[in-house]
Amino acid sequence: MALEPFDVVDLIRTKRDRGTLTTAQIDWMVDAYTRGYIADEQMSAMTMAIFLNGMEREEVSALTLAMVASGTRLDFSGLDKKTTDKHSTGGVGDKITLPLAPLVASFGVAVPQLSGRGLGHTGGTLDKLESIPGWRASITVDEMMRQLDDVGAVVCAAGSGLAPADGKLYSLRDITGTVECIPLIASSIMSKKIAEGTAALVLDVKFGSGAFLKDIEKSRELAQVMVRLGEDAGVATRAVLTNMNVPLGLAIGNANEVRESVEVLAGGGPADVVELTVELARHMLELAGVTDADVEAALQDGRAMDAWRGMIAAQGGDPDAPLPVAPESHTVHAETSGVLVEQEALPFGIAAWRLGAGRARKEDPVDHSAGIDLHAKPGDTVEAGQPLFTMLTSDAGRFARALEALEGAYRIGSAGDEVHTGGPLIAGVVE
């Protein structure tokens, strides 16, 4: 057996004592952990040292590229189209990928969107799309290439060969209390996105109640680190900071979020979903070299809808098939007249999860018909007895726990009371 060039205990001590690891040390550490030479206990100590003491820019870049190198990297250079992608840090009612990918593709740009499934209160794009009868998340690389060439947009599951070191490391972080660490979050997200092989990337970095990071300054810091990582790896990268204090749109769930996305593609839909879809589309297209795109027109004239139908059909889905409808529903009505001044995102996400729209473990199934339909948003005037929201599920026994999650999550005040939204939907851009 060849002698290992480094001792992992020495590397742990270096980070424990606030030292800096070299690129060679990081490359070896990621490779040794991936092949099982470094034990989980040792990597747990390393992630905690990083959590407590941070990493320098060069260290984070080296960690990211080492995780990319742990697996395969897709190559779209054979396409006759430029590629651009988007990643969201996740939120309540965040279905933006669904209308966004076909919208951008309608301008002749390829969108290879490798997505995941939901866990906890944050929904997964693949779970939403699997509401559509026949649609399949897993496709081969050859199928992806053909679809990008023919339709322009693919939303599918990432193969296990992309950044396998990240998958192993993330599972460890999840059980060691080291998830909320900006160097580790940034390298995790960007290693997968760089491995996808896209030439340009727009990051939707959320902050607020329903976001992974609640504080806008922490989200801004994460955005800055990820943009630098993208640029260091030769990927044109930009980040948009968006507000997740209030649920996005009127639908929280799976099938109902697909319905809302189709409304946007048909030229309608909630104003906030349209606003964010258009904003992200403009950035994606600009990074791909398309600077004169009238994205609103593509939503109105059917071009984006045509791309959606092609994207769904190419993966076996029937874009005309009825979506699942929940057999059980419970509507909550306003007890008084006034103005809806508060509607906190996180509790609504937890309630939708408890109704069956999400999962507690990766192995759990989801109820595609479950979720919440909102009938009012903060700032709306409501009358006593008016519906505020409707909970949807296949199991009426789930209503009680969902309602528990929503205690104190919404409030009706008087005209003139401050409306709690945490500010505008789009809080800034990081380049």
- For the question of residue 272 being annotated catalytic, the response is no
Catalytic residue, candidates 87, 95, 117, 303: 87
169 Cβ contact list (under 8 Å, min separation 6): 33, 43, 47, 67, 184, 188
Tokens at 76, concatenated: 């779209």
How many C-beta neighbours within 10 Å does residue 414 have? 10
Helix (H) or strand (E) holding 380: none
Amino acid at 292: D
Is 52:169 a contact under the CB 8 Å cutoff? no
- For the question of residue 192 being annotated catalytic, the response is yes
DSSP codes, 124-168: -HHHHHTTSTT--S---HHHHHHHHHHTSEEEEEPPTTBSHHHHH
- For the question of residue 362 being annotated catalytic, the response is no
Helix (H) or strand (E) holding 8: helix 8-16
SS3 381: strand
Nearest-angstrom CA–CA distance, 273 and 207? 16
Catalytic residue, candidates 192, 193, 354, 359: 192
Amino acid at 186: A
- Nearest alpha-carbon partner for 412 in 404, 420, 402: 420
Catalytic residue, candidates 27, 166, 232, 272: 166
Catalytic residue, candidates 115, 131, 187, 188: 188
- For the question of residue 138 being annotated catalytic, the response is no
Catalytic residue, candidates 117, 121, 128, 173: 173
- For the question of residue 187 being annotated catalytic, the response is no
398 Cβ contact list (under 8 Å, min separation 6): 354, 355, 356, 370
**Residues noted as catalytic:** 87, 166, 173, 188, 192
